[in-house]
């Protein structure tokens, strides 16, 4: 198995033109989009549709009248939406269908749509990701770090490195080796690493420290979210 990594949003821009047909893409937006999606699935959501724009979200809700709208711009809930991007909001009962749009996470999920499979990754479901990769044994794995706006996000690269660390027998590209090295540097205290990250600092400064602590939990949920035909379901 070859494990590669996409570390920055600039690299994500070219993914729609890349041949991903042999790759399983695991998308990480740890603070907070993919953590919120995994939390929602774990609390009973059956279908989550990630879209790029607010306009797409409104259009999707017209097709799914029973869906709730979730997402953020600049970290804050979008005006008129039912949910923001805090994973704690996705613990709510009764969220069967969700349409979500975020600055980086949902864009990244859509950019990987041509892959053999697209999985939603977070620290919250790390062991489930490891188990699923061992079971499926893909030829290539692409760890896709969503980043923040146009910048690398430490927490996403760290999570990618944690997944790579579980496969010492795999062949790692240089980018995957970078992610692995970052994980090894911070593996003794992942919560502290998330607090150190720019996103973690911003969230804490805005009174959202609980979100950071929630997203720092490792392997809380034994599920993998799989994107097929534009919709994420438990795989």
CATH assignment of the domain containing 32: 3.90.1560.10
Give the pLDDT of residue 207. 96
pLDDT tens sequence across 89-119: 999 888 999 999 999 999 999 999 999 999 9
> For the chain, what is the domain count?
1
**What stretches in the chain show pLDDT beneath 70?**
none
Q: Is residue 77 part of a domain?
A: yes
Give the number of other CB atoms < 10 A from CB of residue 87. 25
Q: Is residue 230 part of a domain?
A: no
Q: Is residue 114 part of a domain?
A: yes
Give the pLDDT of residue 30. 98
Give the pLDDT of residue 61. 87
Q: State which residues form the domain around 127.
A: 2-225
> How many CA atoms, within 13 angstroms, populate the side-chain half-sphere of residue 145?
27
Q: Is residue 207 part of a domain?
A: yes
Q: Is residue 15 part of a domain?
A: yes
Q: Is residue 234 part of a domain?
A: no
pTM for the full predicted model: 0.96
Query: Following DSSP, what letter does each residue of the chain receive, concatenated?
Result: -EEEEE-SHHHHTTGGGS--TTEEEEEE-TTTHHHHHHHHHHTT--EEEE-SSHHHHHHHHHH-TTPEEEEEETTEEPTT-SB-S-GGGGG-TT--EEEEE-SSHHHHHHHTTTSSEEEEE-GGGHHHHHHHHHHH--SEEEEEE--BTTB--HHHHHHHHHHHHT-TTSEEPHHHHHHHHHHHHHTT-HHHHHHHSHHHHHHHHTT-HHHHHHHT--S-S---EEEETTEEEE-
Give the pLDDT of residue 62. 87
Give the pLDDT of residue 197. 98
Structure-token pair, residue 51: 């879209």
């Amino acid at each position: 198995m070859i494990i590669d990594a996409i570390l920055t949003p600039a690299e994500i821009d070219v993914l729609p033109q890349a041949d991903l047909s042999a790759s399983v893409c695991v998308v990480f937006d740890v603070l907070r989009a993919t953590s919120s999606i995994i939390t929602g699935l774990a609390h009973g959501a059956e279908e989550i549709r990630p879209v790029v724009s607010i306009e797409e979200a409104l259009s999707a809700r017209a097709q799914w009248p029973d869906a709730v709208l979730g997402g953020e711009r600049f970290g804050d809930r979008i005006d008129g939406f039912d949910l923001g991007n805090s994973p704690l909001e996705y613990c709510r009962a009764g969220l069967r269908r969700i349409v979500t749009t975020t600055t980086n996470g949902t864009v990244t999920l859509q950019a990987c749509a041509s892959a053999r499979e697209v999985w939603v990754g977070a620290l919250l479901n790390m062991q489930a990701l490891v188990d699923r990769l061992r079971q499926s044994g893909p030829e290539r794995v692409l760890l896709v770090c969503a980043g923040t706006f146009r910048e690398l996000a430490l927490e996403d690269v760290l999570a990618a490195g944690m997944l790579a660390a579980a496969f010492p027998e795999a062949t790692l590209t240089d980018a995957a080796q970078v992610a692995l090295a970052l994980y090894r540097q911070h593996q003794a205290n992942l919560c502290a690493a998330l607090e150190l990250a720019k996103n973690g600092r911003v969230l804490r400064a805005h009174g959202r420290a609980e979100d950071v602590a929630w997203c720092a939990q490792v392997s809380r949920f034994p599920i993998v979210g799989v994107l097929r035909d534009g919709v994420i379901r438990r795989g």
